[in-house]
Amino acid sequence: MASTARDGFTSTFGVFLATVGSAVGLGNIWKFPSLTGTNGGAGFLLVYLLATLLVGLPVMIVETMLGRAARANAITTFEREAPKGQWWWKSIGWMGFAAALFILAFYSDVAGWVYAYVFKAAFGELTTTDPKAAASIFGGLVSSPGTSVFWQAVVLVVTGAIIMLGVARGIEAVARKLMPLLFLLLLVLCVRSLTLPGSAEGLAFLFRPDFSKITPGVILTALGLAFFKLSVGMGTMLTYGSYFRENQNIPGTTARVMLADLSISLLAGIAIFPAVFAFGFEPASGPSLVFMTIPAVFTSMPGGTLFMTIFFFLTAIASVGAMLSLLEVPVAILAERYGFGRKQAALCTILAVAVFGIPAALSNSVTADLKLFGLNPFDLFDFLSSNVLLPLGGILICLFVGWIYGLPQLRDQLSNHGDLSNAPVINAVFFLVRYVTPLSIAVVLLHGLKVF
Ligand code: PFF
């Protein structure tokens, strides 16, 4: 895409697929199960569902709308849409720029583990259902500084190469091919996991809430996950919205993306937790959970090695779709505001990601004790982005649309200038983003960060 003439998605279904490509990624397969496990299971899931419906979706709708209205990157959009003199709204775009770098720093690290697991699976190194053996395989990978940084570098090079192909071709083509297959494999995994002896305990963990486990910190984490999952609060959906077609039904498309995304996360949960209990893994093992449990489920079925390899390969591709969308925020800013070519912009962004990414990748070895607020670099970037920057961006986007942009313009945009008769939906979105969403994020954020 040239920096002057804006390229865009070429079909209505292509828009849907590309947006799903941003939302679905390591968040579903890795982060959702890991956080559900460490935060007590069903109670967390319940809060996450509420956060997705009441906060994530409305923010996604208005964020996408802003991008399409302004047809610009996350900074220029606020310059164009804010009243003269209110320059500070631009800071939303800059926060998004920073959040993209932080997320990419740890995301590329986890994607590296997935790439490495593709090969380990193919060579039959992962065929075990024994928790100790599985933990030592994963531990061996992440605690070796050279190996972690190597795989992260592979991820960054691959992703950088793909973004240089341009928006329509690159992103759509990748997104289009992978989703149904990943979905199918997850279904197979669910069936296997549910038929393991002792699987009922896992289902209860996932679906029978223990309300005593829902603390302010848990609620903030669930909210952060809702933002992270839907790629909102940092200008990614805004930037994607800027490539949306004029006749795209924004509330309809985003709701469908949210549902698709949620189903994949739930399938991942159902594939993992019954197996966790059946094989005796620890549900609260955190980031390693998926890397230990998924191979165990595959190991217990015929053709396990082949399917396991395909599974990690598809997850790697899913991570590419999400990373492309993350890169798109800084790349669009550098290209449209600072005259960078897209290739140059992608290259600079990737170099910047490497600067943050290497300390993150070394968090299980060299930088393990390099702590800020008690968090190693990996956890710090994760916390800062998901639990601070995205919710903060979400509040500001809601306040902007609810109090500055206003209902008449929102109506015009979300109804495609009157072509869609969706007034009740628009009124509900407006009510949410004007009052409910910013207020609830603020309360959760202040409580979760222990400000009060
Ligand atoms: N939604 C992606 C996932 O769940 O894997 C991660 C992500 C992509 C977060 C893009 C934020 C973003 F802007």
Quick one: angle between helices 250-279 and 216-230, nearest 10?
120
With CA atoms as reference, report the closest residue to 335 among 68, 66, 72. Answer: 72
- How much distance in Å is there from the Cα of 17 to the middle of ligand 1? 14
State mean pLDDT over 82-97.
96
Between the CA of 64 and the centroid of ligand 1 the distance, in Å, is 15
CA distance linking residue 387 with residue 97, whole number of Å: 16
- Counting DSSP H helices and E strands in the chain, the numbers are 22, 0
Q: What separation in Å is there between the alpha carbon of 326 and the centre of ligand 1? A: 7
User: Any residues with Cβ below 6 Å from ligand 1, and which?
Assistant: 22-23, 25-28, 103, 228-229, 231, 234, 236, 322, 325-326
Q: What pLDDT is attached to residue 1?
A: 40
Q: What's the mean pLDDT in 17-31?
A: 93
In the chain, domain spans: 12-448
Residues contacting residue 308 through CB under 8 Å, at least 6 positions apart: 121, 126, 294, 295, 298, 299
C-alpha 222, offset from chain centre: 13
Which residue, by CA, sits nearest to atom 7 of ligand 1?
231
Smallest CA-to-CA distance from 203 within 260, 265, 271 is with 271
Give 302 Cα–ligand 1 centroid separation in angstroms: 33
Residue 84: the pLDDT is: 93
Handedness of CA 87, 393, 420, 76 (dihedral sign): positive
Strands, E assignment, 244-400? none
Residue pair 219/440 in contact (Cβ under 8 Å)? The answer is: no
* 2 pLDDT higher than 50: no
443 φ, ψ to 5°?
-60, -45
Scored b (16 or more CB within 10 A) or e, 72-83 reads: bbbbbbbbebbe
Ligand 1: which of 109, 228, 353 to mutate, most ligand atoms within 8 Å of CB? 228
Q: How many residues does the structure list for the chain?
A: 452
Ligand 1 center–CA 330 separation, angstroms: 14
Q: Which atom of ligand 1 is nearest to the CA of 23?
A: 1
Give CA 40 to chain center in angstroms: 21
Mutation pick for ligand 1 pocket among 34, 231, 264 (CB with most ligand atoms within 8 Å): 231
Residues 259, 262, 268: CA angle, nearest 5 degrees:
145
Per-residue pLDDT reduced to its tens digit, 161-176 = 776 765 445 555 665 6
Over the range 87-110, which residues count as b (16 or more CB within 10 Å of their CB) and which as e? eebbebbebbbbbbbbbbbbbbbb
Residue 408 CB-density burial (10 A; 0-12 exposed, 13-18 middle, 19+ buried): exposed
- The single-letter code of the amino acid at 335 is A
Whose tokens are 């956890």? That residue is 379
Rg (CA), the chain: 21
User: By alpha-carbon position, which residue is closest to atom 3 of ligand 1?
Assistant: 27
Q: Residue 352 C-alpha to ligand 1 middle, in angstroms? A: 18
Cα separations in angstroms, 135 against 126, 131, 132, 205, 273: 11, 6, 5, 22, 17
Please tell me the distance from the alpha carbon of residue 89 to that of residue 66, in angstroms, as a whole number.
13
Q: Which atom of ligand 1 is nearest to the CA of 30?
A: 5
Q: Which atom from ligand 1 is nearest to the alpha carbon of 234?
A: 13
Using 50, 70 and 90 to split pLDDT, how confident is the model at 16?
Answer: confident
Residue 374 has pLDDT above 90, yes or no: yes
The per-residue pLDDT for range 129-156, each reduced to its tens digit, is 999 999 999 999 999 999 999 999 999 9
pLDDT at 171: 52
Sequence letter at residue 362: L
pTM to 2 decimal places: 0.95
> Check: CATH 1.20.120 for 12-448?
no
